[in-house]
Amino acid sequence: MKKFTKKTNLLATAAVLAAAQALVAGQALAQSSVTISGIVDTYAGSTQLSGTPRQTRVESGGLSASQLTFSGVEDLGGSLKAEFGLSMFLRADTGANGRSDTDPLFARLAFVGLSSELGTLRLGRQTSSSFLTMLRTNSLGDSAAFSPIFLHTFRNAVGQGTQFLSPGAPPASRALTGALGTTDSAWNNAVGYVSPIVGGFTISALYAPGEVDGVGNRKELGAFYANGPLNLALVVDKFAAGSVPASGPAAAALQSQTSVQLAGAYAFGFGRVSAGYFNHKRDYTTVTDDRIRTFHVGASIPVGAGAVLLQTAQSRQSPDVGASTKRTTTTVGYDYNLSKRTDLYALYMNDKFTSLAAGNSVVIGIRHRF
């Protein structure tokens, strides 16, 4: 009887230990983490775009858009992981959320997805690869106010001033710059895929159905190469009729738009040099079709505890009928690192548009990451 009891106790103890081990293993497999991060960036100074009066102002987002992000990952076992991202823009000068009053709460990102050794699949509002490529091959990053290539492509011309619109009231006029401004940096209702890295190469695809009668879809395909100091990217976007919000000139009359971006960057011993090219072809139903070609070149050169930042962009808009226009914008500045998370910067920007007086901006700012 005693031997039976001992054996029973041993078996029971082993069972308890096995159950505990399985529980711990299960908990390990289900490990998850949530991160809160963000940027607060505010500048002060005198700003002036071509053809506009000079303004003295304190604004949010000098070198980076002020933002707050919640992100998380859960290990599901093997190579499979679940992930999410919720990110909002902030206006640090007023405390308001969003880039404007019309932004949704999580205008920057709102997605859930799965990742594995086969790649990453995401559903929801996602940043386009075209926008990400512009950031990665741009010495002034996501500076919507002072990055020349940002001003010429992704910042809405309406927000910059009526001088950047063709004559006539919308939808009879066109935006002469900011060809991707009304498409936004992120797409709603999107399905996105990013492949694993193979030999330095990565492929991305993004698709957003119209979901409403009369609204077409959006499609994007990108190819990227990164190896040591070299980064290269090619991205093609296709916007169907009605897929661009009717908030900009002629957006309601836009039948289709195709945008191609080719860009790259190389880190030399003296600093990082970047360059790129955008080709936007816009077809309208009742407005003259046009094409906008934009070149940019820039550099980030370490000096002391910071870096000298340089960039020039030039855009030419050529309508099928009518005169062409040209815009050239150049920014130079210095970004000084107080720590790994906090920096001070000073920027000067010159902006010149066809037949308009040049504009000059001088600002200083502080940026903190957390």
| CA quadruple 240, 175, 261, 132: dihedral, nearest 10 | -90
Residue 130 sits at φ, ψ, to 5 deg, of -60, -45
Helices of type H across 114-245: 129-136, 148-153, 157-160
Q: 145 forms bridges with which residues in the sheet?
A: none
Q: Which of left, alpha, beta for 184 (phi over 0: left; psi -120 to 50: alpha)?
A: left
Residue by residue, DSSP assigns 255-268 as EEEEEEEEEEEEE-
- Which runs of E-coded beta strand occur in 241-289? 254-267, 272-284
Q: How far apart are the C-alpha atoms of 200 and 277, rounded to whole Å?
A: 22
Q: What is the pLDDT of residue 84?
A: 98
What does pTM read for this prediction?
0.89
Radius of gyration of the chain (CA): 25
Q: How far apart are the C-alpha atoms of 26 and 20, rounded to whole Å?
A: 10
| 56 CB burial (10 A radius; 0-12, 13-18, 19+) | exposed
**Domains of the chain and CATH, by start:** 41-369 (2.40.160.10)
Residue 284 sits at φ, ψ, to 5 deg, of -115, 165
Structure tokens at 368: 């903190």
Q: Which of left, alpha, beta for 16 (phi over 0: left; psi -120 to 50: alpha)?
A: alpha
| 254 CB burial (10 A radius; 0-12, 13-18, 19+) | buried
Sign of CA dihedral 50, 52, 55, 58: negative
Residue 316 sits at φ, ψ, to 5 deg, of -125, 125
- Which runs of E-coded beta strand occur in 151-242? 186-194, 201-208, 218-227, 230-240
- C-beta separation of 265 from 283 below 8 A: no
Q: What is the pLDDT of residue 167?
A: 87
Q: What is the pLDDT of residue 121?
A: 98
Residue by residue, pLDDT tens for the chain (370 residues) are 444 444 444 344 444 444 444 434 444 445 899 999 999 999 999 999 999 999 999 999 999 999 999 999 999 999 999 999 999 999 999 999 999 999 999 999 999 999 999 999 999 999 999 999 999 999 999 999 999 999 999 999 988 999 999 988 888 899 999 999 999 999 999 999 999 999 999 999 999 999 999 899 999 999 999 999 999 999 999 999 999 988 889 988 999 999 999 999 999 999 999 999 999 999 999 999 999 999 999 999 999 999 999 999 999 999 999 999 999 999 999 999 999 999 999 999 999 999 999 999 999 999 999 9
Q: What is the pLDDT of residue 29?
A: 47
Q: 231 forms bridges with which residues in the sheet?
A: 226, 265
